[in-house]
Structure 1
Amino acid sequence: MPDSSDVASGAVVTLSGVSRAFNTAGGPVQALDNVDAIITRGRVTGLIGPDGAGKTTLMRLISGLLMPDTGSVNTLGFDVKEQPLQVQASMCYMPQRFGLYEDLTVQENLDLYADLQQLPYAGRPERYAELMHMTGLAAFAARLAGQLSGGMKQKLGLACTLVGSPKLLLLDEPTAGVDPVSRRELWEIVYRQVSKTGMSVVFSTAYLDEAERCDEVLLLHQGRLLGQDTPAAFSSRMQGRTWHRSLDEGVSKRALQHRLSQLPGVIDTTIQGEQIRLVMAADTAAPDEANLQATPPRFEDAFIAMLGGADTAAIVSDQQPVHIRTTDNDQLPVIEVSGLTRNFGTFQAVKGIDFSIRRGEVFGLLGANGAGKSTTFRMLCGLLPASHGELTVAGVNLREAPSSARSRIGYMSQRFSLYGSLSVLENMRFFSSAYGLGRQQRKMRIDWACKQFELGEVIATAANDLPLGYKQRLAMACALLHEPDILFLDEPTSGVDPLARREFWHRINLLAEQGVTVLVTTHFMEEAEYCDRLVIMAEGTILAAGTPHDIRMEAAATGRPADTMEDAFITLIHRQPEFATA
């Protein structure tokens, strides 16, 4: 039976002295270390922390899928050690890779999970209709799950998780890799359930704007609980430490951000529109800078400050010049697209688009899930042939000589695509050999990568055993081993915590300042601010193009405020009448 004291106290989860370690090839890893916390019933509670903080381990302990080494976990009044089956019958857990069956239809997936959760047949039609309406999937009930866009798959996964109306819902980064429109729709579904049924929700996320919407947040780092409070309480501790610095005429955003990040006392800098946001260390005066204004703190500032800020100084000091291969026509576009089209049978995924990218430019390719941007990206990389149109990369027509362009290109895919069973060193040796590097150059570049990406301490670790942040570092290191002058990045920071994201963009900005051309796709709209120019795709066409400022102004012209790139993106996407059925 449930513990009556926990039920009476309103606690949905109680953690007392919880520790959990794992044995790995590199030795024991302490995933959680003496965690005490109470999660309140009927609220949305966020688990926040950098990669490897222990968030997923904590969720698996709460759900009874793991047992603590020491301490106790009480979920919904049940002792997890003694009553794991009762715990699992009363709650649902949606892991990062939810188990949809892609060869089953939307309806068949719902039926399967209704069977697993033992939902009575009599109540299924009404519950199905409610979930289909909430998720907007009613028109796709007969479609195979494998044919859904990324955002629709996540909504189907959430519907399958909710089919049995659980008392407690655990969501492990449910919006990673999902476009901003689908992300907002997912959270509308979750909050509707909380307000309507009193369901309790615990979720982890790499998007700290989502954390600000929580009733309470648990901040984890290296297995320890650093704090538990409301997002507003965390933010209030940063009063007087956050500033905006306006741009100077003729100075790039990247150059100004880089200079400000080196000032004493500055622990964080981010690009926000036409300004640079600064976060100062505690008890540190604002820098003596013109055009500096105080700005209200946010939860993300507190998160970064509590973790000591991103370590970008080492990145700057270790950066080595990239050898850019110039040509007689160096002022011409490095990438040029004209009338680019891609058909899959009778379906036209990309519909005759045009754009060009200059040398040393960071160019963003944005769009909702299913907009055609991934197809465009794969054609630009030479991974997928175009059906029609012209596509030139590094002066080479990809339809005529794709192999000639690939030696100039570095590619980092959306999903970690290195060899998981090989060690960090073995992966770098393989890719440097594949790129045709000689023995001496191979050793030099691997030594550079180990130092620049701080991979030395995990050099013998299998790639599959790395935390997500280190996987991203390894993937980027492998993409740069042959010193490409064009870099393709397909959602490179999906699911990566803010510290790792900042380090990543510092590296990209330094490469761009040296003349490396960067094409990036992302669903994280704050990253779009780092782009010099970008295009937003919808239904296989270009919906909007220009600088980030141009995009915000175009959205504002519709009569709706667009203070952020995410607001602008959603405004522009929603003006497409067919978007709701895309």
Structure 2
Amino acid sequence: MAAAAPAGDDAVAVDVAGVVKSFPGVEALKGIDARILRGRLTGLVGPDGAGKTTLMRLMAGLMAPDAGTIRLAGVDVSHDRDRVAPSIGYMPQRFGLYEDLSVIENLRLYARLRGIAPRRAQPVFERLLGFTRLGPFTSRLAGRLSGGMKQKLGLACALMGTPGVLLLDEPGVGVDPVSRQDLWRMVEALTGEGMAVVWSTAYLDEAERCETVLLLNEGRLEYDGPPAGLTARLHDRSFRLAGPRRDRRQVLSEALGLPGVSDGVIQGDAVRLVLREGGTPDLLAPFAAETGARVEAVTPRFEDAFIDLLGGGPGGTSRLAERMDPVRLETEVTVSCRHLTRRFGTFTATEDVSFEVSRGEIFGLLGPNGAGKSTTFKMLCGLLRPSAGAAEVAGLDLRRATSEAKRQLGYMAQKFSLYGLLSVRQNLEFSAGVYGLEGRVRRARVEEMIETFQLGRHLTGAPGDLPLGYRQRLALACALMHRPPVLFLDEPTSGVDPITRREFWTHINGLVRKGVTVMVTTHFMDEAEYCDRVALMYRSKLIALDTPDALKARVVTRDLPEPTMEDAFIGLIEAHDADREAGA
């Protein structure tokens, strides 16, 4: 691994000076100055289109800046790429693993690309396999690894040749909290040995763990420093409305309309709010009294400061939901499954899963990669036939009325499911046609989705060319085209920035208040706080089912008096493993 970090100017691993980069119609970076230090974890954050990936690619030498320089160890990266390439490890967002090659075959390929002689490669492989804990899986095809294991293999390939600078573009996307802990363990070991690591992320709880953060917005560097420095700006501006007597989604929507409120999210049975600069808790007192809530000061988070710096959240009103009529279904239970099981040969993906979801409820399905969440979703959507058990949607048995049931639901798949050969508008038109919309209704619904999700300037482009946040907006628009009473969302906000995530949940909350039932999977644990109930799956089985606050209460200890949902996720899985070992 890299040597320990030296002191003084020699500690600068990458020097970014006055960097400008433009593409047709877009000025991606507008004069960026920054220094990446050895032995330090630097977070790169910002909303969609801020310029994070462009800056990463420039640092990796894959593009040249239009102006300015990027130097690594005093060498201009764009002018002498071959000289500095061995010192750079780069793991892009869509990492280039070969899914039809095994773990060890991928490592051998990257060793050859790095020019590592076969006689020297085996000790390197052993070190990387031990470091990433992939040793038992060397013969498994990369395409059959879980999301977390794929990221570990990608990291191992990026570390081939022991680079001094490691660039990780959103390595935590699609990775469950347990696997993300492993990634953090590995990265902390690397920085401890002197490597400079840049971790780009849309998850601000990850950014909060970095020593330094570079915050980009619209191609400009808005903040450069420790996360705590930005968070400190919110001193005495973060509060919680605890125990409101009214529906918390309604409380959040109304609170976001108050003139002094910058941002807000649901946190279990409470609503968390951030006031604008100069705001005091007196602003909240009348509203709290009206809703029967208590105003409690809370410690600000880096995400609070991020949203505030960018001008606040998107508000609490969903124009899409306002246009919908209330859902009318004869049954109160809109989704149910009994002893649901799915086997693939000798492998059981989902085993004996049972639960019910009521009309107007948000039901979260959580679990590590490979736990069986997506398989369960696909069975409930009629896309997979159960090996055993039964499922109903909107009172319709999926074994007997599959087509009729499908018309009652909208499904946003985990893997982007739009048609790459069609334009954005054509995808919208096609979705409208699939759901039987015709004539004036069809045209009106397509235009409504274009306006609601701000897709106007992207209509002639291909979905694959959109920034991730807009791709997810388009996918959600297609799933909602026919205004279904039941909505299945499989990791709908994976990798999107916090502002876009809030837009999504504004729409979801608004739809639920109209009686839409929502089932959602997510690896973003703060998002689980929006759910009325959460089911935790592990190793194909359901191991816990309760409200977010009740699940958190199950892992409270003297050392952890106020656990987060991530604490609950990890703690419940560890407790389940301990019980299994004790019973073995």
Quick check: 1:296 aligned with 2:291?
no
**CA–CA separation in structure 2 for the residues paired with 1:555 and 1:396:** 38
**CA–CA separation in structure 1 for the residues paired with 2:382 and 2:329:** 21
**CA–CA separation in structure 2 for the residues paired with 1:560 and 1:339:** 35
**CA–CA separation in structure 2 for the residues paired with 1:109 and 1:317:** 46
Deviations 1:43-93 (A, max 9, x none): 111111001100000000011100111111112321023201122221110
Distance 1:579 1:483, change over 3 A: farther
Q: 2:93 aligns with which of 86, 96, 105?
A: 96
Mapped contact 2:555–2:563 kept (Cα < 8 A): no
Q: 2:219 aligns with which of 217, 223, 236?
A: 223
TM superposition shift of 1:545: 0.4
**CA–CA separation in structure 1 for the residues paired with 2:375 and 2:255:** 38
Quick check: 1:131 aligned with 2:128?
yes
Mapped contact 1:486–1:516 kept (Cα < 8 A): yes
Alignment correspondent of 1:199:
195
TM superposition shift of 1:353: 1.0
Quick check: 1:12 aligned with 2:13?
yes
SS in 1 for 2:507: helix
TM superposition shift of 1:283: 1.4
SS in 2 for 1:451: helix
Letter in 2 for 1:182: S
SS in 2 for 1:443: helix
Alignment correspondent of 1:232:
228
Alignment correspondent of 1:3:
none
Q: Structure 2 matches for 1:149-228, cutoff 5 A?
A: 149-195=146-192, 197-228=193-224
Quick check: 1:324 aligned with 2:342?
no
Instruction: Report how many residues are paired.
Output: 567
Letter in 1 for 2:55: L
Quick check: 1:254 aligned with 2:249?
yes
Of stretches 133-142 and 41-50 in structure 1, the one that deviates more from structure 2 is 133-142
Alignment correspondent of 1:492:
492
Alignment correspondent of 1:280:
275
Deviations 1:363-385 (A, max 9, x none): 01111001111111111111111
Deviations 1:214-243 (A, max 9, x none): 111111011111121111111111112111
SS in 2 for 1:576: helix
**CA–CA separation in structure 1 for the residues paired with 2:368 and 2:321:** 37
Quick check: 1:462 aligned with 2:462?
yes
**CA–CA separation in structure 2 for the residues paired with 1:580 and 1:89:** 46
Q: Structure 2 matches for 1:327-476, cutoff 5 A?
A: 327=330, 330-331=331-332, 333-476=333-476
**CA–CA separation in structure 1 for the residues paired with 2:93 and 2:18:** 26
Mapped contact 2:409–2:488 kept (Cα < 8 A): yes
TM superposition shift of 1:460: 2.9
Mapped contact 2:320–2:507 kept (Cα < 8 A): no
**CA–CA separation in structure 2 for the residues paired with 1:460 and 1:82:** 36
Deviations 1:547-578 (A, max 9, x none): 11221122338996561110000011122339
Deviations 1:341-374 (A, max 9, x none): 1010011111111101101110011110011111
Structure 2: unaligned runs, 5 residues or longer: 1-6, 289-293
Mapped contact 1:243–1:293 kept (Cα < 8 A): yes
TM superposition shift of 1:438: 1.4
Alignment correspondent of 1:309:
312
Deviations 1:118-170 (A, max 9, x none): 23445433333332222221111221212111111111111121132110000
**CA–CA separation in structure 2 for the residues paired with 1:322 and 1:39:** 53
SS in 1 for 2:234: coil
Letter in 2 for 1:166: P
Q: 2:49 aligns with which of 41, 47, 52?
A: 52
Distance 1:560 1:8, change over 3 A: closer
**CA–CA separation in structure 2 for the residues paired with 1:109 and 1:567:** 34
SS in 2 for 1:72: strand
**CA–CA separation in structure 1 for the residues paired with 2:372 and 2:329:** 31
Mapped contact 1:246–1:292 kept (Cα < 8 A): yes
Distance 1:159 1:420, change over 3 A: same
TM superposition shift of 1:522: 0.4
Distance 1:314 1:391, change over 3 A: closer
TM superposition shift of 1:7: 9.3
**CA–CA separation in structure 2 for the residues paired with 1:512 and 1:435:** 21
Distance 1:84 1:204, change over 3 A: same
SS in 1 for 2:198: strand
Deviations 1:241-279 (A, max 9, x none): 111110223x22212212211111111101223321111
Of stretches 558-567 and 408-417 in structure 1, the one that deviates more from structure 2 is 558-567
**CA–CA separation in structure 1 for the residues paired with 2:546 and 2:491:** 20
Structure 1: unaligned runs, 5 residues or longer: 1-5
Deviations 1:283-341 (A, max 9, x none): 122323241122222211111011112222563597312352422xx33x111100111
Deviations 1:8-65 (A, max 9, x none): 4422111222111112xxxx11111111122222211111100110000000001110
**CA–CA separation in structure 2 for the residues paired with 1:524 and 1:288:** 28
**CA–CA separation in structure 1 for the residues paired with 2:337 and 2:322:** 32
**CA–CA separation in structure 1 for the residues paired with 2:296 and 2:558:** 29
Of stretches 467-476 and 368-377 in structure 1, the one that deviates more from structure 2 is 467-476
Alignment correspondent of 1:241:
237
Mapped contact 2:321–2:510 kept (Cα < 8 A): no
Mapped contact 2:53–2:169 kept (Cα < 8 A): yes
**CA–CA separation in structure 2 for the residues paired with 1:557 and 1:199:** 36
Mapped contact 1:21–1:32 kept (Cα < 8 A): yes
Mapped contact 1:262–1:313 kept (Cα < 8 A): yes
Quick check: 1:269 aligned with 2:270?
no
**CA–CA separation in structure 2 for the residues paired with 1:317 and 1:418:** 21
Of stretches 115-124 and 257-266 in structure 1, the one that deviates more from structure 2 is 115-124
**CA–CA separation in structure 1 for the residues paired with 2:186 and 2:9:** 28
Distance 1:280 1:514, change over 3 A: same
Letter in 2 for 1:260: A
**CA–CA separation in structure 2 for the residues paired with 1:561 and 1:240:** 22
Question: What's the TM-score, normalizing by structure 2?
Answer: 0.93
**CA–CA separation in structure 1 for the residues paired with 2:374 and 2:320:** 34
Of stretches 138-147 and 520-529 in structure 1, the one that deviates more from structure 2 is 138-147
Mapped contact 2:252–2:264 kept (Cα < 8 A): yes
SS in 1 for 2:318: helix
Question: What's the TM-score, normalizing by structure 1?
Answer: 0.93
Letter in 2 for 1:326: L
Letter in 2 for 1:334: T
SS in 2 for 1:236: helix
**CA–CA separation in structure 2 for the residues paired with 1:312 and 1:562:** 28
Distance 1:316 1:401, change over 3 A: closer
Mapped contact 1:421–1:464 kept (Cα < 8 A): no
Quick check: 1:80 aligned with 2:77?
yes
Letter in 2 for 1:307: L
Percent identical pairs in the alignment equals 50
Distance 1:128 1:7, change over 3 A: farther
Mapped contact 2:268–2:549 kept (Cα < 8 A): yes
Mapped contact 1:322–1:511 kept (Cα < 8 A): no
Deviations 1:378-419 (A, max 9, x none): 111111111110111111111122111011111111122212
Distance 1:317 1:481, change over 3 A: closer
Alignment correspondent of 2:3:
none
